[in-house]
Amino acid sequence: MHKYDEFVHREVSPRLDAGEGIELTGFLFTKSLKAVILTNGLSLIGDGYYFAALTRKRMFIIATEMGIASLKMENKGLSDIPYADMKSIKPSGFLNQKMIAIELKDGKTLVFRLNMLATHYASGQKEFIEKLVEYQKTGT
């Protein structure tokens, strides 16, 4: 487990129910790739980045930000989304750049992007979408 996984475990653990454990971690972002290209990468700095943790019951999201040199291990807000509140998950993307649209039962849609190669930020990056879809479908 690397330092970002340890950070996620440390932040999420106090919110876990008895018998609930973190199955997988991921690193998500909401930055537009088009904006990144148009600003020569300057739009990468700031908010719009999230550490994520999947349990068998829900997905946790920790808002963080990118500094000038690296991703910060800072909790700017921790929330969770029970799979029972998710209506659907629509994965898309190409090559290593993926996107997931999570439609909630209350009508909201959350859109996150992830780079499948960003395994230095989260050990479960490559399996994240697959496991999220699986856990939401089985409701376990």
**Residue 126 located in a structural domain:** yes
| Domain-embedded: residue 101 | no
How many independent structural domains does the chain possess? Answer: 1
The verdict on residue 89 lying in a domain is no
Question: How many of the other CB atoms lie within 10 Å of CB of 77?
Answer: 10
Question: Does residue 12 form part of some domain?
Answer: yes
* CA separation for the pair 61, 85 (Å, rounded): 15
Answer whether residue 108 is part of any domain: no
Structure tokens at 126: 């490559």
pLDDT at 140: 52
Q: What is the pTM of this model?
A: 0.86
Give the pLDDT band of residue 95 (cuts 50, 70, 90). confident
| Structural domain includes residue 51 | yes
Q: Could you say which DSSP state residue 74 is in? A: -
- pLDDT score for 111: 94
User: What's the pLDDT tens digit per position in 29-70?
Assistant: 886 555 444 434 444 545 688 999 999 999 999 999 877 667
Could you list the residue range(s) of the whole structural domain that residue 127 is in?
3-83+118-138
Q: Identify the pLDDT of residue 69.
A: 63
